[in-house]
Amino acid sequence: MDPLAHLYHAHIGELNRRVAEICQRENISGLVIHSGQPHRQFLDDLNYPFKVNPQFKAWLPIVDNPNCWIIANGQDKPRLVFYRPVDFWHKVNDLPDAFWTEHFDIHLLTKADRIADLLPKNITQWAYIGEHLDVADVLGFTSRNPDAVMNYLHFHRADKTQYELECMRRANKIAVKGHLAAKTAFYNGATEFEIQQCYLLETGQSETEVPYGNIVALNQNAAILHYMALEHVNPAQRLSFLIDAGANYHGYAADITRTYAFEKNRFCELVAALNKMQLAIIDTMKPGVKYTDLHIATHEHIAKLLISFDIATGSVEQLISQGITRAFFPHGLGHMLGLQVHDMGGYAYDERGTHVAAPDDHPFLRCTRVLAANQVLTIEPGLYIIDTLLEQLSASAKQVINWNCIDELRPFGGIRIEDNVIIHHNRIENMTRESGLVD
């Protein structure tokens, strides 16, 4: 038997416990969680790819079926309303028959607009959890995504069950296979578009099945943080390759980045140095450490790299205070990971939703939590040559930059190294490296 089935038993028990607790606090009968509905493209008869409500897929691995519902109060066996229409235009999902089905009272829904027949009769005492507030209104819900419930659920999303951790390990294994295939394709001369196809083929996931749009960037394109163009023609000279690509397993995401130099040169040495630095940051992670402190410490590491590679001169303190490190490393160190790539709850101090903002000097940091066991986070330091950011530096800051070195590195774009790690009580588990992507 797949060990996931055993782990799922405890997972569903924990979700029921959370629902029971928050419903008792808020004096509501339970939660009605909507998987979502298709979105029609403007002025067309086609739908956008369906993306399931993350609060729905927390309960079970149905990620591709709209118009489904979970009805849970934490006390009774949760009910799944499974949408299975009579349809000859589209493929109809098979009846559920998997390790999780025994934990649900399953009812079939053949017409989406008949869902009211299967919902609780005292609907005003239940809370709707989902995107489609107009649907909730028509159905008679008076409580729709109540703040107290959502804040509670988001805060506890950071505390992964053992089932969730195993799903994320498997997502990393899938993504690592794709990364290794992409690396080989790069060194064999493939275009950005061809590298993307190699990645998808190896993972067995389509562009709509992976958790986000992959970044596949050659040369200077690697300096564009969210590059999505996918050139079909190779550059005149092959210099560097950055790939930020993930995979899904049962709705849980992997999010991994690697950077490669085509030849042994100064940029290659810089990649190796950043890789070593990233591992050093991970070594300092443990329960009780503030993620914000990790991010600030990363800027100290970046300053040291700039000095050691003669990219800038001066002291570490000077490079940070003048905003020079932020010009080379403008994004956050990472984020929480799970049902979503940028998982909810990254700024939550407590289950009431008390918000802890990112520092003013680091507005793009996506997590300000204190690390705790069973959290999953990405660690992704970067170093880029972004002319628009360098041009915004003060005149005094520009004087300490070695512009000849900038000219040398600019064609390579930039570097990012990203791993997915689990915080345990007494150790850090680097899922990405342990899945075989060691550099």
The per-residue pLDDT for range 379-400, each reduced to its tens digit, is 999 999 999 999 999 999 999 9
pLDDT at 89 over 80: no
pLDDT at position 3 is 86
Q: Residue 243: which residues within 8 A CB-CB, separation 6 or more?
A: 179, 182, 183, 186, 195, 199, 214, 215, 216, 217, 257, 258, 259
pLDDT at position 178 is 98
90-96: average pLDDT? 82
DSSP letter, residue 115:
G
pLDDT at position 432 is 98
pLDDT at position 2 is 82
pLDDT at position 95 is 86
Q: Residue 428: which residues within 8 A CB-CB, separation 6 or more?
A: 282, 283, 285, 286, 421, 422
Q: Where are the beta strands (DSSP E) in 287-434?
A: 376-379, 382-384, 414-416, 419-423, 428-430
Residue 398 vs residues 113, 303, 382: alpha-carbon distances, Å: 63, 15, 20
231-249: average pLDDT? 98
pLDDT at position 437 is 94
Q: Which helix (H) or strand (E) holds 106?
A: strand 105-109
124-136: average pLDDT? 97
- Dist CA 439 CA 336 (whole Å): 22
Q: Where are the beta strands (DSSP E) in 141-227?
A: 143-144, 215-218
pLDDT at 169 over 80: yes
Residue 85 backbone zone (phi > 0: left; psi -120 to 50: alpha; other: beta): beta
pLDDT at 88 over 80: no
249-258: average pLDDT? 98
| Per-residue pLDDT tens digits for 3-12 | 899 999 999 9
CA dihedral (37, 41, 46, 52) positive or negative: negative
pLDDT at position 92 is 80
pLDDT at 44 over 90: yes
| Per-residue pLDDT tens digits for 301-358 | 999 999 999 999 999 999 999 999 999 999 999 999 999 999 999 999 999 999 999 9
195-218: average pLDDT? 98
- List, in sequence order, every residue forming a beta bridge with 31; answer none if it has no partner: 72, 127
48-54: average pLDDT? 96
Domains of the chain (ranges; CATH) run 3-157 (3.40.350.10), 162-434 (3.90.230.10)
pLDDT at position 87 is 81
268-285: average pLDDT? 98
Q: Residue 72: which residues within 8 A CB-CB, separation 6 or more?
A: 15, 16, 19, 30, 31, 33, 59, 78, 79
Residue 349 vs residues 220, 368, 424: alpha-carbon distances, Å: 39, 8, 20
pLDDT at position 150 is 98
- The average confidence (pLDDT) of the chain is 97
Residue 438 backbone zone (phi > 0: left; psi -120 to 50: alpha; other: beta): alpha
pLDDT at 439 over 90: no
DSSP letter, residue 105:
E
pLDDT at position 279 is 98
pTM: 0.96
pLDDT at position 110 is 95
pLDDT at 26 over 80: yes
